[in-house]
């Protein structure tokens, strides 16, 4: 159990309050805000300002701790590590495309072309402006590959210019008869 304490307050409408308390009174935790430039947090053995939250001269909330001694604003924290669901959906990461092309978060009107007919050897998705978005190359005739036992299968994700490769996932497949026995995935 922790010791929970409440600051004492003096409140007046002239200083932003809604009531007049002429004498020190317990803060109401469901109603009152503590008015301070910042707050420091202590462990059971510390007595310092190493971990703190404050407001800077530009009205930004800033955070600091021992591992991050330079002030970080809330905006910086959100941009660097947190993101909204809609932002996450639009990330150009291969997981957003496997197994059947672009989905939520990407502009509609993407088009798919398939080369190879019944046994495809190349599938490509293009953006509405016809730049290449993602491709899936299926080897069916070289090395150990056959029409029914393709290997490798290579997914390639392209940047918005349609030529710069962002990520590649290559699956080398081993078969037992015509059934897949194992798969080794290489991610670059």
Residues 173 and 94 in one domain: yes
| pLDDT number for residue 89 | 66
pTM of model > 0.85 = no
The domain tally of the chain equals 3
Domain identity same for 170 and 97 = yes
Which structural domain range is residue 8 located in? Answer: 1-35
Residues 54 and 9 in one domain: no
Query: For residue 79, which phi and psi values (nearest 5 degrees)?
Result: -70, -30
Give the pLDDT confidence of 127-144 residue by residue, as tens digits.
989 999 999 999 999 988
**Percent above pLDDT 90 for the chain:** 36
- Whether 161 and 78 map to the same domain: the answer is no
Question: Are both 154 and 75 inside the same structural domain?
Answer: no
Say yes or no: 133 and 163 in one domain: yes
Band of residue 81 on the pLDDT scale cut at 50, 70, 90:
low
Does residue 116 contact residue 136 with C-beta atoms inside 8 Å? no
Q: What percent of the chain has pLDDT over 70?
A: 89
In a 3-state reduction of DSSP, which class is residue 14? helix
At 44-72, the pLDDT tens digits run 898 888 888 988 889 988 888 888 778 88
**Can you spell out the DSSP letters for 54-104?**
EE-TTS-EEEE-SS--S-EEHHHHHHHT---HHHHHT---GGGTTTTS--T
d(CA 71, CA 65): 9
Q: Are residues 171 and 105 both part of a single domain?
A: yes
User: Is the confidence at residue 86, as pLDDT, over 80?
Assistant: no
* Whether 93 and 142 share a structural domain: yes
Whether 55 and 105 map to the same domain: the answer is no
């Amino acid at each position: 159990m922790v010791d929970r304490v409440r600051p004492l307050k003096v409140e007046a409408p002239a200083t932003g309050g809604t009531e007049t308390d002429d004498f020190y009174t317990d803060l109401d935790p469901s109603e009152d805000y503590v008015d301070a430039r910042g707050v420091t947090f202590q462990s059971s053995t510390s007595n310092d300002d190493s971990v703190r939250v404050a407001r800077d001269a530009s009205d930004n909330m800033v955070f600091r701790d021992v591992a991050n001694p330079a002030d970080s604003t809330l905006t910086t924290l959100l941009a660097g590590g947190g993101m909204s669901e809609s932002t996450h959906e639009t990330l150009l990461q291969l997981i957003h495309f496997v197994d059947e092309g672009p989905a939520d978060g990407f502009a509609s009107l993407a088009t798919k072309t398939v080369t190879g007919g019944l046994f495809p050897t190349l599938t490509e998705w293009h953006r509405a402006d016809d730049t290449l978005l993602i491709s899936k190359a299926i080897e069916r005739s070289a090395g150990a590959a056959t029409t029914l036992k393709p290997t490798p299968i290579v997914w390639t994700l392209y940047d918005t210019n349609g030529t710069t490769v962002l990520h590649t996932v290559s699956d080398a497949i081993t078969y037992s008869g015509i059934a897949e026995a194992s798969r080794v995935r290489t991610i670059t």
